[in-house]
């Protein structure tokens, strides 16, 4: 879900830089931004920038305005920056007199989400591959996707702020990195998808990897998903896992797909009495150990849209909604399912660990998910794919074999 192509709506945003100078900009893709600097109604300069690529500096030279500016769009933090010095010529004065109207040295202008992310310290991504037998599957994008769960307002998709306030109101900010795979859409990007097909075993199902980053500077004293920072002896915190699962399905996936907000809210409460959570064992893969755990009973909204008369419809919750739909697969109405956004009750198997550095904690989760009614072999195949990804691409992730852990 990280680097997208395809058409998107591109409304313009305007920032008043002061004394008649305005910056207009619009996103023409997930990674590209067009900008236009004007003095009052007169265009001064226009251009574009791409994620992770600085713009210049760009010289501005006209009869009315002169100077230079430089945009940046950071690939990991999503910070849109602008450093600029602009002068405006005072009208009717000879010899010409130039007045400084913009002298911007603080680059932070705005922020976007989602951004590029990292798993196990690398931006390289290695999506698990399902073994044969359950139909084709594939990644729902082409990179690690990062969402910032905080109270900060972000452009493109402001969903991280919703998740912070609704799902994590009592924790400091955190960052979610996702490698998501699902059933391959039919005829993507213009065909219906099994992700939105209630007659498919792939309905409302993802498998892959998460990395949750928690900053010590923000107040985190434990890794996400654990009761404390005790290394391999740490006790898994089931409520954290239920909350991130509901956040991903209801909000980062289906809300951005177009499921109405009130539907997502309906399935966002976390009731651990309805969820079966079992830390089952510690296992070794690659050159490290992982906590193996299972969870069942997590109810979430789906992205299913019925074409029956009076059924609820998808809405455009974000500039990214059309892209999410083409990435996951387009809606797939079925005659036997007249109600939109029917929920699913999920079960999952996860391999989990964390690492710690001077900045914070980094919790890794690899695994799969299925409906509680799906064949157990389907979930087992997803876990097999996750294990293979660990052994091939992340053999040193997880807890060191030299570390103690709780049997």
pTM of the full predicted structure? 0.89
pLDDT band at 403 (very low <50, low <70, confident <90, very high): low
- Work out the angle at residue 152's Cα, subtended by the Cα atoms of residues 147 and 157, and round it to the nearest 5 degrees: 45
Tokens of 198: 């209630």
Q: How far is CA 10 from CA 27, 77, 302, in A?
A: 5, 22, 27
In tens, the pLDDT along 155-196 reads 889 999 999 999 999 999 999 999 999 988 766 556 788 999
Which residues fall within 8 angstroms of residue 87, CB to CB, at 6 or more apart?
Answer: 65, 66, 67, 98, 99, 100, 101
pLDDT of residue 7: 37
Q: Are 70 and 82 in contact (CB under 8 A)?
A: yes
Q: Residue 240: which H helix or E strand, with range?
A: helix 238-246
Whole-angstrom distance, CA of residue 112 vs CA of residue 73: 9
Tokens of 93: 């004065």
Whole-angstrom distance, CA of residue 268 vs CA of residue 254: 12
Among 17, 57, 19, 53, which Cα is nearest to 33's?
53
In tens, the pLDDT along 346-381 reads 999 999 999 999 999 999 999 999 999 999 999 999
Whole-angstrom distance, CA of residue 212 vs CA of residue 210: 6
Examine the pLDDT at 22 and tell me if it is beyond 80. yes
In tens, the pLDDT along 74-84 reads 889 988 888 88
Q: Residue 62 carries which DSSP code?
A: -
Most confident listed range (4-8, 57-61, 309-313): 309-313
pLDDT of residue 155: 87
More confident residue, 190 or 341: 341
Q: Residue 192 carries which DSSP code?
A: B
Phi, psi of 20 (to 5 degrees): 90, 0
In tens, the pLDDT along 227-277 reads 999 999 999 999 999 999 999 999 999 999 999 999 999 999 999 999 999
Q: Residue 42: which H helix or E strand, with range?
A: strand 42-50
Examine the pLDDT at 398 and tell me if it is beyond 80. yes
Tokens of 367: 């695994």
Among 325, 351, 166, which Cα is nearest to 253's?
325
pLDDT, mean of residues 36-62 = 80
Phi, psi of 136 (to 5 degrees): -70, 145
Among 143, 381, 6, 202, which Cα is nearest to 193's?
202
- Work out the angle at residue 353's Cα, subtended by the Cα atoms of residues 406 and 74, and round it to the nearest 5 degrees: 160
pLDDT of residue 80: 85
Q: Residue 160: which H helix or E strand, with range?
A: helix 159-167
Examine the pLDDT at 404 and tell me if it is beyond 60. no
Examine the pLDDT at 2 and tell me if it is beyond 60. no
Burial label, 84 (beta-carbon count in 10 A; 0-12, 13-18, 19+): buried
pLDDT, mean of residues 303-308 = 97
Count the neighbouring beta carbons within 10 Å of the beta carbon of residue 235.
Answer: 12
Label the pairing between strands 344-356 and 360-371. Answer: antiparallel
Among 244, 347, 227, 364, which Cα is nearest to 295's?
347
Residue boundaries of the structural domains of the chain: 13-111, 114-400
Examine the pLDDT at 216 and tell me if it is beyond 90. yes
pLDDT band at 280 (very low <50, low <70, confident <90, very high): confident
In tens, the pLDDT along 26-39 reads 877 666 788 888 88
pLDDT of residue 39: 82
The DSSP string of 301-359 is: -------STT-------STTHHHHHHHH-B----TT--STT--EEEEEEEEEEEEE-SS
pLDDT, mean of residues 34-61 = 80
pLDDT, mean of residues 95-115 = 87
Which residues fall within 8 angstroms of residue 362, CB to CB, at 6 or more apart?
Answer: 121, 211, 212, 213, 214, 223, 354, 355, 356
Q: How far is CA 398 from CA 144, 195, 270, in A?
A: 19, 30, 28
Return mean pLDDT, the chain: 89
């Amino acid at each position: 879900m990280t680097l997208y192509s395809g058409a998107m709506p591109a409304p313009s945003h305007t920032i008043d830089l002061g004394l008649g100078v305005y910056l207009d900009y619009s996103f023409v893709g997930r990674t590209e931004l067009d900008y236009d600097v004007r003095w009052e109604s007169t265009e001064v300069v226009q251009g574009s920038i791409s994620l992770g690529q600085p713009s210049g500096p760009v010289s501005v030279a006209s009869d009315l305005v002169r100077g230079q500016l430089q945009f940046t769009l950071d690939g990991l933090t999503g910070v849109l920056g602008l450093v600029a010095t602009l002068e405006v010529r005072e009208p009717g004065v000879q010899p010409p007199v130039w007045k400084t109207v913009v002298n911007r040295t603080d680059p932070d202008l705005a922020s976007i989400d989602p951004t590029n992310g990292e798993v196990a310290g690398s931006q390289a991504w290695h999506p698990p591959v399902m073994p044969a037998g359950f139909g084709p599957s594939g990644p729902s994008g082409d990179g690690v996707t990062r969402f910032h769960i905080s109270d900060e307002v972000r452009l493109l998709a402001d969903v991280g702020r919703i998740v912070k306030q609704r799902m994590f109101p009592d924790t400091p900010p955190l960052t979610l990195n996702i490698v998501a795979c699902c059933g391959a859409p039919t005829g993507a990007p213009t065909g219906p998808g099994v992700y939105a097909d209630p007659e498919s075993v792939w309905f409302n199902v993802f498998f892959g990897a998460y990395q949750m980053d928690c900053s010590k500077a923000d107040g985190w004293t434990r890794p996400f998903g654990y009761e404390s920072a005790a290394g391999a002896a740490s006790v898994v915190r089931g409520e954290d896992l239920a909350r991130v699962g509901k956040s991903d399905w209801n909000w980062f996936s289906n809300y951005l797909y177009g499921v109405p907000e009130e539907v997502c809210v309906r399935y966002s409460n976390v009731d651990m009495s309805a969820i079966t959570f079992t830390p089952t064992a510690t296992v070794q893969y690659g050159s490290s150990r992982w906590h193996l755990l299972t969870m069942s009973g997590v109810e979430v909204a789906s992205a299913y849209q019925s074409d029956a008369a009076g059924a609820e419809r998808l809405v455009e919750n974000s500039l990214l909604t059309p892209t999410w739909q083409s990435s996951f697969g387009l809606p797939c109405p079925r005659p036997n399912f007249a109600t939109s956004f029917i929920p699913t009750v999920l079960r999952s198997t996860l391999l989990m660990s964390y690492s710690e550095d001077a900045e914070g904690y980094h919790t890794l989760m690899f695994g799969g998910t299925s409906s509680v009614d799906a064949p157990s072999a389907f979930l087992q195949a997803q876990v097999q794919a996750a294990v293979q990804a660990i052994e091939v691409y992340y053999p040193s992730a997880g807890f060191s074999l030299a570390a103690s852990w709780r049997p």
